[in-house]
Chain A
Amino acid sequence: AQKVTQAQTEISVVEKEDVTLDCVYETRDTTYYLFWYKQPPSGELVFLIRRNSFDEQNEISGRYSWNFQKSTSSFNFTITASQVVDSAVYFCALLKAAGNKLTFGGGTRVLVKP
């Protein structure tokens, strides 16, 4: 069975601070995909990034960066220079190669104060 754990339930920062969201996953599959989604107060789920299990290169996309470490089953996500519009719930999710369903973590609520 797959499992995604986001230990941080809520993080509060002041604008322009960096914020790092932790995600730990469990899977027996050797090939899988990891995602981050954002759920702003309006409620929709917005796809942010995807990572393949066979590519551990970390990347930066604008103010977003991620740190994928297969050895520790972690897929952490960082927002650099946070803005008020970044206030949302962020979900980490896992998709196994042989399946269709996304397994979501419990989410981390990020509150960015001006």
Chain B
Amino acid sequence: EPEVTQTPSHQVTQMGQEVILRCVPISNHLYFYWYRQILGQKVEFLVSFYNNEISEKSEIFDDQFSVERPDGSNFTLKIRSTKLEDSAMYFCASSLSRGAQGGYNEQFFGPGTRLTVL
């Protein structure tokens, strides 16, 4: 069964460093997302991406964050200068369609990357 994959599973970095989190969405999916979950808290939306551009972003997704689909399979989240409060589990997700299109709009999540900022 197709699945979303993410690398690395755990990333430790020093405050102020840049990190890139990588995701390979399900191959025939068209919509891509990043969410984060601070330990013990709810899952929060960061950004959605379609047709090589951001379609929606949250207030969390400030200028320190960027997303890219560098080739036909990868989808990346870059944090330019990490802060302590960026420590969280980051989930990538993908879907075949989006909300307005009804069917097949369920988002399938990867296993997550745990980011620890020291």
Residues of A within 8 A of B (CB): 32-33, 35, 37, 42-47, 50, 52, 91, 93, 95-107
User: Main SS of the interface on chain B?
Assistant: strand
In the assembled complex, B99 has its CB within 8 A of some CB on chain A: yes
Which residues of chain A are within 8 angstroms of B31 by Cβ–Cβ distance?
A: 100
Report the separation of the CA atoms of residues A35 and B98 in the bound assembly, to the nearest whole angstrom: 14
Q: Is the CB of A96 within 8 A of B99?
A: yes
User: Do the beta carbons of B42 and A98 come within 8 Å of each other?
Assistant: no
User: Does more than half of chain A's interface fall in helix, strand or loop, or is it mixed?
Assistant: strand
| A43-B55 CB under 8 A given contacts A95-B105, A98-B100, A104-B44 | no
Name the A residues within 8 Å of B42 (CB-CB).
91, 104-107
The 8 A CB mask of B89-118 against A (1 = contact, 0 = none) is: 101010000111010011111111010000
Residues B108 and A47 in contact, CB atoms below 8 Å apart: yes
The residues of B that contact A44 with a CB separation of less than 8 Å are 109-112
B56 at the interface (CB under 8 A from A): yes
Given contacts A44-B110, A45-B43, contact A99 B99 (CB under 8 A): yes
- CB of B45 within 8 Å of the partner chain: yes
Nearest 9 interchain pairs by C-beta: A100-B48, A101-B45, A45-B109, A104-B43, A44-B111, A100-B56, A97-B99, A106-B42, A95-B99
Contact with A along B17-39 (1 / 0, CB 8 A): 00000000000000101010000
Give the chain B neighbours of A99 by CB distance below 8 A: 56, 98-99
Q: Check A101 against B58 for contact (C-beta < 8 Å).
A: yes
Query: Which residue in chain B gives the minimum CB-CB distance to A95?
Result: B99
Give B95's nearest chain A residue, CB to CB.
Answer: A100
12 contacts between A and B (CB under 8 A): A32-B99, A33-B99, A37-B109, A43-B114, A44-B109, A45-B109, A45-B112, A46-B109, A50-B105, A97-B99, A100-B99, A102-B35
